[in-house]
């Protein structure tokens, strides 16, 4: 069943049907009504491929993330998808699992599908795939790369605001030895977070000690491994800031496993403020990264680039801020 069938039944031409469907105002109300009735009766659904082919736009955006299993992403996706659906756009989601090959494959699929733009929350890996998109004039919005260009926008998180609050909060509680468990080595996003930590420490007038900085992997396991190492130190920190909440939860687990407690023996600060962080015990003090604002920034960046793919994109910034719960407190006095 296609528009011509509808046209025949409504006694009009396919052009009129198309106009009715697209809400053109140059159709007489009576005619439009008649056509609409036929469409409803036959429950006609237009063929999107034909529209995309003709129109050159697919009204869909790609979303590439590294790992849907990290709760941060589903929470982001919910907002992102919600915003798109409200605008009658579709979302093509893909996961890279941090593999460059999957990334390539994914981008290829998005090109085939004629997406109107790509939101890349896994910019980590390489620049190759990014160039592929740019070359094909597909608007791209990255996270935390801090580079813009023609058809290339970026949404960055202002880590420093939240990190400063976290360090100040800990300092006020009389912590002087504040450690940091980072993300996977070699990712720009990890660097940004770590730099914010270093800067916040220095700004607070505390001494930066590289021995207190450990590498993680953005997952629970990385937090565990790093925390084990930190526990083995003689002069160990009394507070830990983690690169994300999962890492913080990993640290928490190790501390509990060792029979120590939070926040009496260690204060822990996470990053992201995933829903989970309010559920674990003790509820996690964490630096909130507002998902909905982030999603909104991505969508508006995508939209404006889609409107004019030739223009230079914008740099968006989303602030982070501390949420104090129960995993931070004054350190236990040691003799």
Partner DNA sequence: ACCATAAATGTATTCGTATACAATTGACAA
Partner DNA sequence: TTGTCAATTGTATACGAATACATTTATGGT
Query: Which residues sit at the interface with DNA, rule CB under 7 A?
Result: 2-4, 7, 11-16, 18-19, 21-22, 25-28, 30-32, 46-47, 50-51, 53-56
Number of residues in the chain: 335
Write each residue from 111 to 130 as x if it is in contact with a copy of itself (CB under 8 A), else as -, in one continuous string: xxxx----------------
Please give the biggest Cα pair distance in the chain. Answer: 93
Q: Is 279 in the site for a copy of itself (CB under 8 A)?
A: yes
What is the rounded distance in angstroms from the CA atom of residue 139 to the CA atom of residue 85? 19
Binding residues among 44-103 for a copy of itself as defined by CB under 8 A: 45-50, 52-53, 58, 68-69, 71, 73-75, 77-78, 81-82, 85, 90-95, 102
What is the rounded distance in angstroms from the CA atom of residue 113 to the CA atom of residue 92? 9
The CA-atom distances, in angstroms, between 209 and each of 92, 174, 188 are 44, 17, 21
Please tell me the count of residues contacting a copy of itself according to CB under 8 A. 48
Q: What minimum distance in Å lies between the beta carbon of 75 and a copy of itself?
A: 6
SS3 68: coil
Residue 299 φ/ψ region, left for φ over 0, alpha for ψ in the -120 to 50 degree band, beta for the rest: alpha
Q: Is 265 in the site for a copy of itself (CB under 8 A)?
A: no
Q: Is 4 in the site for a copy of itself (CB under 8 A)?
A: no
- Nearest C-alpha neighbor of 177 from the set 210, 197, 206, 216: 206
Provide the binding-site residues for a copy of itself, judged by CB under 8 A: 43, 45-50, 52-53, 58, 68-69, 71, 73-75, 77-78, 81-82, 85, 90-95, 102, 105-106, 108-109, 111-114, 132, 135-136, 220, 249, 253, 256, 275-276, 279-281
């Amino acid at each position: 069943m296609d528009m011509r069938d509808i046209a025949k039944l409504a006694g009009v031409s396919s052009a009129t049907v198309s106009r009715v469907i697209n809400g053109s105002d140059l159709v007489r109300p009576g005619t439009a009504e008649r056509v609409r009735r036929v469409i409803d009766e036959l429950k006609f659904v237009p063929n999107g491929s034909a529209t995309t082919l003709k129109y050159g736009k697919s009204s869909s955006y790609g979303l590439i993330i590294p790992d849907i299993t990290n709760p941060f992403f589903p929470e982001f996706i919910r907002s992102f998808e919600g915003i798109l659906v409200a605008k009658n756009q579709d979302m093509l989601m893909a996961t890279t699992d941090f593999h460059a090959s999957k990334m390539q494959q994914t981008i290829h699929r998005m090109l085939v599908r004629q997406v109107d733009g790509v939101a890349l929350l896994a910019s980590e890996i390489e620049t190759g795939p990014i160039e592929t998109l740019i070359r094909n004039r597909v608007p791209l919005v990255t996270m935390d790369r801090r580079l813009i260009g023609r058809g290339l926008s970026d949404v960055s998180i202002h880590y420093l605001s939240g990190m400063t609050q976290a360090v100040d909060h800990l300092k006020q509680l009389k912590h002087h030895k504040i450690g940091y468990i980072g993300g996977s080595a070699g990712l720009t996003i990890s660097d940004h977070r770590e730099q914010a930590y270093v800067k916040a420490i220095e700004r607070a007038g505390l001494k930066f000690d590289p021995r207190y900085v450990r590498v993680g992997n953005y997952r629970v396991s990385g937090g565990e491994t790093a925390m084990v190492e930190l526990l083995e130190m003689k002069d160990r920190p009394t507070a830990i800031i983690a690169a994300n909440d999962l890492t913080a939860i990993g640290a928490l687990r190790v501390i509990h496993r060792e029979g120590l407690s939070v926040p009496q023996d260690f204060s822990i600060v996470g990053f992201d403020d995933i829903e989970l962080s309010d559920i674990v015990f003790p509820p996690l003090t964490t630096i909130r990264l507002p998902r909905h604002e982030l999603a909104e920034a991505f969508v508006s960046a995508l939209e404006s680039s889609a409107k004019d793919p030739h223009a230079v994109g914008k740099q968006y910034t989303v602030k982070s801020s501390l949420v104090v719960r129960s995993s931070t407190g004054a350190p236990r006095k040691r003799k």
